[in-house]
Amino acid sequence: MQRNTILHKTLARALSMKRPHNSEGTRRLTDWLALNAPAHAKMHRDEVGNLHIDARQSEANRTLFVAHVDTVHREEGPNKISKTPTHWRADGAPLGADDGAGCAMLMHLLHAGVPAYYLFTQGEECGGIGAKYVSDDTAFLLQFDRAIAFDRRGIDSVITHQGYGRTASDAFAEALSEALNADDTLWYLPDDTGVYTDTAEFIDVIPECTNISVGYYNEHSDQESLDVLHLVSLAERAARIDWDSLPTLRDPSVKENKWDAYDDWYLGGGREATSVTSFARGHWLVDDPDDVREELREAIYDAMAGSKQWLVELMCERVWPEDPDLAECLIDRNKLDHAVLTDMLQQSDIYDVDTVMYAVFDQVYKGA
């Protein structure tokens, strides 16, 4: 990665500091992004600190790009980064490429002259605080046909579902994947296994809401790493896409669940199916009984003590009830480390059981 590019400068600045929500780190990075935006761009900050940069050239530009400035760090301070020509890692802490890499992507596209609206949000790791604030402004969101987050692990996902509800049409995801793969250096595909990012808050208004892999792995842990070669390739290709030519097919008024049969089973039949918006906001329509939450916590404690089987079984039965045995084969138990388990335990006090399990399943997923 060339050191004098805005991609490198933004990435290095973001990853050099721990950025828990509402911290000096998030304020410093947000200030830096504002100072280093192109001079011609219209810019403002809203009441919760989100940075808005409007680089649209006409009303035909209907793309919203999104990245969040906060990380899962629980303490502020410098982040020591180890770098090789291919990967960056942090020393004893999360790297913060979730979502420092996304911030770098947005700055690259902004400086490359891609006409769009750029939104740098606050508090995504705390339940989407900034995105929820924006989602209340329906008139603002109606200006866009697509909301693109760069906040997905791996190197090949164009997300069509978050939670288990559809957020983007297959046709949109296929067209975007084809556009990203045009140089034969990237290999993106539609992916229906997304969990949550800020764009989930916009699905009731914006037709196509997705999340794109930016090359990080093992997020939320001290094993997090970033494939910087992939990030560079993605940035170069994304800057050449005609984003406004992508198809717009999903109807925001139609709620399509990934597993309607699971709704019927989980809710006992005869009750209204859970919407993806309820999932995205961290609140199912069904309250967890105390014994269900306690069972999860006991399983987490067992995993911390070295026995992970109970937790794995619980998670697979909740996330993939059609075939929990297959789901178990897709989990990398080594990723259920102390940092992930500690975070899972803390989140179980805040969110419902299914939200916690879906999020952790996504973290420890290894694929077929």
Per-residue model confidence as pLDDT tens digits over 51-86: 999 999 999 999 999 999 999 998 999 999 999 999
Strands (DSSP E) contained in 199-263 are: 208-213, 216-217, 225-227
The domain of 110 spans: 6-245
**Distance from C-alpha of 324 to C-alpha of 330, rounded to nearest angstrom:** 10
Q: Is residue 302 part of a domain?
A: yes
Say if 280 falls within a structural domain: no
Boundary residue ending a domain (195, 222, 245)? 245
On whether both 21 and 131 belong to a single domain, the answer is yes
Residue 271 belongs to a domain: no
Rounded CA gap, 114 and 112, in Å?
Answer: 6
Question: 11 and 85 in one domain?
Answer: yes
Looking at the structure, do residues 219 and 297 belong to the same domain, yes or no?
Answer: no
Single pTM value for the model: 0.74
Q: What is the pLDDT along the chain (368 residues), one digit of tens a residue?
A: 677 899 999 999 999 999 999 999 999 999 999 999 998 899 999 999 999 999 999 999 999 999 999 999 989 999 999 999 999 999 999 999 999 999 999 999 999 999 999 999 999 998 899 999 999 999 999 999 999 999 999 999 999 998 768 999 999 999 999 999 999 999 999 998 888 999 999 999 999 999 999 999 988 888 899 999 999 999 999 999 999 999 999 999 998 875 543 444 444 444 333 333 333 333 333 345 567 778 888 889 888 888 888 899 888 888 888 778 888 888 888 899 988 898 888 888 777 788 888 888 888 887 54
- Strands of 51-54's sheet in order across: 42-45, 51-54, 117-121, 63-68, 146-152, 208-213, 157-159, 189-191
Q: Within a domain: residue 151?
A: yes
Q: Tell whether 113 and 165 lie within a shared domain.
A: yes
Residues 328 and 200 occupy one common structural domain: no
Question: How many domains does the chain divide into?
Answer: 2
Which among 191, 213, 245 is the end of a domain?
245
Let me know if residue 162 belongs to a domain.
Answer: yes
Per-residue model confidence as pLDDT tens digits over 213-270: 999 998 888 889 999 999 999 999 999 999 999 999 999 999 887 554 344 444 444 4
Q: Which of 190, 215, 245 is the last residue of a domain?
A: 245
Domain presence at residue 250: no
Here the CATH number for the domain that contains residue 58 is 3.40.630.10
Query: Cis (ω within 30 of 0) for the bond into 99?
Result: yes
Pairing mode, if any, of strands 117-121 and 51-54? antiparallel
Is 267 domain-assigned? no
Considering the domain boundaries, does residue 306 fall inside one?
yes
